[in-house]
Structure 1
């Protein structure tokens, strides 16, 4: 009733049968089998004829609980096997991972050591896998390759590539290590004199050959050597050399360098600094070696040992360079010109002046012109000094003309000035701008300047002569040329150096030299000026022997422009 089924007959109990009918469990799923065990029956309805189907239905129910139990047992078996398989797999994975992780960890550790630059740490792996072993072998090869390449780079960073000696940086490090360890060192600088000239004369390839040959000779002596730059090398032994050993060492290194085409003579300068007495650190050592090298360039000695006096001279040169540059670039009254009159020995009248520069530094005091002019030449700014002198001389010529004084001043030009064509052209432009000509000034050139670079000097002297300048050779007798050589130069006068004139009255050797020069100059039609005339006897001797012009303190000291004007106004040597 009410659509509910009524059990009429069943092999099961009424309540159980009713439950099976109500459940109507035609099929089972995994959830029912596993978790729902209330009605372990499968049912099937049996079709009856239509006349009965509306009243009665037959349902077959099969008890599958046994099958449930078997299936559940099977599931538990499968689950157990699965768990065992998973556990086994995990254990196997852990075992396999341990066989991989340990050698990989070793490689990671080795890689960290390699990154820190520790190449001595061994790469230890205990892996049994071929791949791990191959990776380990590749890592070892990589470590060896990196170590070898770094060693080559390190060695190259320490070596001079041309000579295979150490370079300056590493030599400085080595010396500092020795000094820090409390050792005493005798460090010898080995410098090729005029190395640039060797390169210019023989070519850079032969210059390199020269350096390599000297380096190979140094290597035969037990010690440590480095090339600093160019033709500068440095060497020290474990024990200091005696003076005799130094001379022997110098003689061996200074042997000419021979190639297949030529033989190159070389001159070496040794500079010696004893550490820690002269310098207690590498920086001071190299600074003082540079001081010695600077000193060596101004002399001819092959051996210089450091001393405080040399350092003081060097510091003075630096001060002069600094102060003079500053003076030249500013409006100042420290630099001045003085003029020393020259007189004709025939007329006994002033026929010329020599312009001489003076420097009274506010900080350094009076600096002799020979000192600061030489330093300016060495430092490479003599051109600025000459420019200042030429501008001042031209301005003074105009002042003299305003006082109706028409006397030609002479200006000294240095070695670098003679080779500086733009400077000479600026002089011509300066004269033109002030309505003056080359006939209003005389140029004096030191004799040795012509020998320094004769080709350029002669070409520029010819250029000046063609422009109308009178040219005189100053300090004749102190250089290397002869009258026969000078007669072919575009010069019109020579000045006998005062060293031969100062004692002319009493020194027979000076008398012979001066007399010979005067006789030969007369043959070559050269005017002669004798400077350094200090007494009347010397002036009379020069006049008797045919000297043209005299200059010296006997006639007048060098005078500032105002003093010169006053002196001319009162002197018997100048007729208004």
Structure 2
């Protein structure tokens, strides 16, 4: 036996003696037992290859053990170097996972194997608030908790960032992967203790099984990533099992993203339509909401419910906001010609709210059209306040000082709190349509809605109800003090040319 400076050992043996040497190898190579089992199990392949090839071949090769047949001799090469380890978590890396999946398949092609791909929700906020050093300690603790998995055949690795993968094989049936996922979630129930206090984390988990994806290790991992993306997008459940339809959806999202980017540069692809708002005291139209529409070149109008979330995930929403502001500035003179004197509201997303130059950007977009900021109302969703409330207060104040009217959209569905409501420098509270649907037929819903309106009115906010579809809802809202409404009862969103006819009525 001989060794070189790389930590690789070489020795030769007769083909007839190979099994004894492999058994000896198995007893000594405690780090890589699966590779040894694999070699012994496939011994007949080595015999067949060595008998048929007199020039030397490499019939079987793994990172730590290589067998090379040379005539009637077999050279066994053992790489004693440790596999690469992540220095933060002390876990193996992605390449180790793919290798292990391949070994499992060679050992038992019929075995059910699955991956649980784990990503931490909002972990970047942890690094930003308590520091990267504390974040690394949390990652280390997560690794220790997940290492306690009780299965006999599993592989745990850190992929990158806040992503971990737990692969398991020899599952009894496909449903077992859900039990593994449930166990992973349970490991996140106890808080993670840091010098700055307890930190609570939740995971999103993408699951994949080889019975759905085939035997290729890379495909199994990629399928888990597809499922993970769907898990992160679902507000109701953070665990998703891969199915081929998800891949179709992801492919469509990739295509739509590219096409949406292109639509921003084309005429007549993105459109701005307007939905009226009515004053319940005099029943006059006193406001319009600008809503983006996408007239796809082959599919026609694509639902905003499909492309707006896509734009928010990819960052295109900021470009869409700029497009809407410019189009509204162009349309306001036309609306004034039809006698409309109210404000036009524009939606500002949480992504927009994080732009450092939001106020200056809006002013610059309006300037070429000589549109005054007093003509514009900005609707901000509650979700924009979650990340940094104090920053939001400063930004809202700056927007109001610049002359914009301000409205809180979808109130009651997200970060609702009386403590923050008292500090917001806004004019209007827009109560979400989910409350309106039960208003006319449910007394309890009516009382809840009335309580919300009373609180808002006591703080001198204007109150608008969205999603009003029939007269019964309108009359119920008027009876409990709501100021304005918006919904299909008045009109669906209309392009500016048809809106003129509506206003003239």
TM-score by length of 2: 0.79
CA contact (8 A) 2:206 2:229 kept: no
Q: Tell me the equivalent position of 2:96.
A: 170
Q: For residue 432 of structure 1, report the CA deviation from its aligned partner.
A: 2.6
Separation in 1 of the partners of 2:124 and 2:307? 25
Q: For residue 434 of structure 1, report the CA deviation from its aligned partner.
A: 1.9
Q: Tell me the equivalent position of 2:158.
A: 227
Q: For residue 372 of structure 1, report the CA deviation from its aligned partner.
A: 1.2
Separation in 2 of the partners of 1:234 and 1:394? 50
Q: For residue 320 of structure 1, report the CA deviation from its aligned partner.
A: 2.0
Separation in 1 of the partners of 2:478 and 2:292? 29
Larger of the two Rg values belongs to structure: 1
Separation in 2 of the partners of 1:163 and 1:290? 21
Q: For residue 557 of structure 1, report the CA deviation from its aligned partner.
A: 1.9
Q: Which structure 1 residue ranges, 5 or more long, are not aligned?
A: 1-109, 123-149, 572-576
Separation in 2 of the partners of 1:560 and 1:229? 47
Separation in 2 of the partners of 1:266 and 1:427? 37
SS in 2 for 1:436: coil
Please identify which structure carries the higher strand content.
2
Among 285, 310, 318, the alignment partner of 2:246 is 310
1:488 aligns with 2:416: no
Separation in 1 of the partners of 2:400 and 2:378? 10
Separation in 2 of the partners of 1:346 and 1:367? 36
CA contact (8 A) 1:418 1:461 kept: no
Alignment of 1:243-282 (within 5 A): 243-244=178-179, 246-252=181-187, 254-259=189-194, 262-282=197-217
SS in 2 for 1:280: coil
1:519 aligns with 2:458: no
CA contact (8 A) 1:383 1:423 kept: no
Q: For residue 244 of structure 1, report the CA deviation from its aligned partner.
A: 4.2
Please identify which structure carries the higher helix content.
1
Among 203, 221, 243, the alignment partner of 2:131 is 203
Among 81, 87, 96, the alignment partner of 1:161 is 87
1:187 aligns with 2:115: yes
Separation in 1 of the partners of 2:10 and 2:188? 42
Can you list the C-alpha shifts for 1:58-80, whole angstroms capped at 9, x where unaligned?
xxxxxxxxxxxxxxxxxxxxxxx
1:550 aligns with 2:485: yes
Aligned length: 430
Separation in 1 of the partners of 2:162 and 2:89? 11
Separation in 2 of the partners of 1:448 and 1:249? 28
Separation in 1 of the partners of 2:311 and 2:4? 56
Alignment of 1:79-478 (within 5 A): 119-121=9-11, 154-155=81-82, 158-181=84-107, 182=109, 183-221=111-149, 222=152, 223-240=154-171, 241=176, 243-244=178-179, 246-252=181-187, 254-259=189-194, 262-300=197-235, 301-328=237-264, 330-403=265-338, 405-478=340-413
SS in 1 for 2:212: coil
SS in 1 for 2:416: coil
Return the structure number with greater relative CO, CA threshold 8 A, min gap 6. 2
Separation in 2 of the partners of 1:277 and 1:540? 54
Q: Which structure 2 residue ranges, 5 or more long, are not aligned?
A: 13-77
Residues 1:405 and 1:257: Cα distance change in structure 2 (over 3 Å): closer
Q: For residue 553 of structure 1, report the CA deviation from its aligned partner.
A: 1.6
Output the aligned Cα RMSD.
2.6
Separation in 2 of the partners of 1:292 and 1:437? 47
Separation in 2 of the partners of 1:532 and 1:367? 20
Which sits farther off after the overlay, 381-390 or 418-427? Answer: 418-427
